[in-house]
C-alpha cells in the first residue's frame, strides 16, 4: 500500500446528524486544500443508517425505537451504537485512483489493524451477480466485523468504516445488515473474549498512519 499519512481527529460519542454536518465541512475544506487528508475516529448513539439502494423490507421494526437515517454513502443498511469504532475518511484521491481502489486499501489497513490485535481477518472479492462483499471478515469464523460504505465528491472521499469492538450485537438481528440476510455480525469482544477500545483505536491509528 502507498504511504498516506493522515491527520487524526478523535472524539467519543457524537450524534449522527451532527457528525454528518461536521463531515461535510471537513470534505469542503479538503476539496479546497484547506486541510490535509484526515481520519476522524468516533462512536455514535444507536442509529440505523441506510444507503441509496436499501430495500424497505430490510429496515428494522419501528417498535425497536432506534432511528433510521438515510445517508449519501454507498452500501446498504448499517447499525451504529456505543462500543463500535467509526472512522470517517476525508482523503483526496490520487490521479487515476477511484473510490473502489481506496475502499480496497481501507479494507487491507483494517485487516492489518485486526491482525495486530491477534484477530486474523480478510477482505473478500465479490462473485459476479452477488451482493457486494465490501468490508472485513474474520478469517477463522467467517463472520463480518467491519462494515464499509464510502463515496467520493470532486475527488475527495467521505464516510468510512464501522468496526464492532465491544458493543451490543443484538440490534444487527433486527434488520437486514449490508443487504445480506444470512450475515453473522461479530465484534472483537465476541471473537477474542477480551477487548479494549483504547487498544483497538491505537491499532487503527497505526494502520492508517494517522497522527
113-169, pLDDT tens digit by residue? 999 999 999 998 766 665 567 899 999 999 999 999 999 999 999 999 999 999 999
Segments of the chain scoring below 70 in pLDDT: 74-75, 126-132, 178-180
For residue 5, CA distances in Å to 8, 172, 185 come to: 9, 33, 30
Would you call 134 exposed, middle or buried from its count of C-beta atoms within 10 A (0-12, 13-18, 19+)? Answer: buried
Contact present, 57 and 20 (Cβ < 8 Å): no
Alpha helices in 63-184 (DSSP H): 99-116
Q: Is 27 among the residues known to form the active site?
A: no
- Which candidate in 85, 178, 200, 207 is catalytic? 178
Angle at 211 between CA 145 and CA 75, to 5 degrees: 35
pLDDT of residue 131: 56
Place of cell 474474520: 138
Domain residue limits, the chain: 7-207
DSSP three-state, residue 157: strand
- For the domain spanning 7-207, the CATH number is 3.30.930.10
CA separation for the pair 133, 54 (Å, rounded): 15
Cell numbers representing residue 183 in the block: 450475515
Instruction: Report CA dihedral (163, 168, 174, 180) to the nearest 10 degrees.
Output: 30
- Cβ-based neighbours of 56, under 8 Å, separated by 6 or more: none
- Model pTM? 0.93
Amino acid at each position: 500500500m502507498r504511504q498516506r499519512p493522515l491527520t487524526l481527529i478523535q472524539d467519543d460519542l457524537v450524534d449522527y446528524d451532527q457528525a454528518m454536518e461536521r463531515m461535510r465541512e471537513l470534505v469542503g475544506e479538503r476539496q479546497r486544500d484547506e486541510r490535509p487528508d484526515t481520519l476522524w475516529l468516533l462512536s455514535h448513539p444507536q442509529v440505523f443508517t441506510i444507503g441509496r439502494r436499501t430495500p424497505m423490507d430490510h429496515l428494522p421494526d419501528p417498535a425497536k425505537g432506534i432511528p433510521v437515517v438515510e445517508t449519501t454513502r454507498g452500501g446498504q443498511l448499517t447499525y451504529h451504537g456505543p462500543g463500535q469504532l467509526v472512522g470517517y475518511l476525508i482523503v483526496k484521491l490520487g490521479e487515476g485512483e477511484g473510490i473502489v481502489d481506496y475502499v480496497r486499501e481501507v479494507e487491507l489497513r483494517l485487516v492489518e489493524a485486526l491482525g495486530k490485535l491477534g484477530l486474523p481477518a480478510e477482505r473478500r472479492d465479490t462473485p459476479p451477480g452477488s451482493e457486494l462483499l465490501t468490508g472485513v471478515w474474520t478469517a477463522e469464523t467467517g463472520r463480518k466485523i467491519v462494515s464499509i460504505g464510502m463515496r467520493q465528491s470532486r475527488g475527495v472521499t467521505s464516510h468510512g468504516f464501522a468496526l464492532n469492538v465491544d458493543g451490543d450485537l443484538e440490534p444487527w438481528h433486527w434488520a437486514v445488515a449490508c443487504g445480506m440476510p444470512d450475515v453473522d455480525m461479530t465484534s472483537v469482544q465476541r471473537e477474542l473474549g477480551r477487548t479494549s477500545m483504547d487498544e483497538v483505536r491505537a491499532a487503527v491509528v497505526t494502520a492508517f498512519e494517522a497522527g
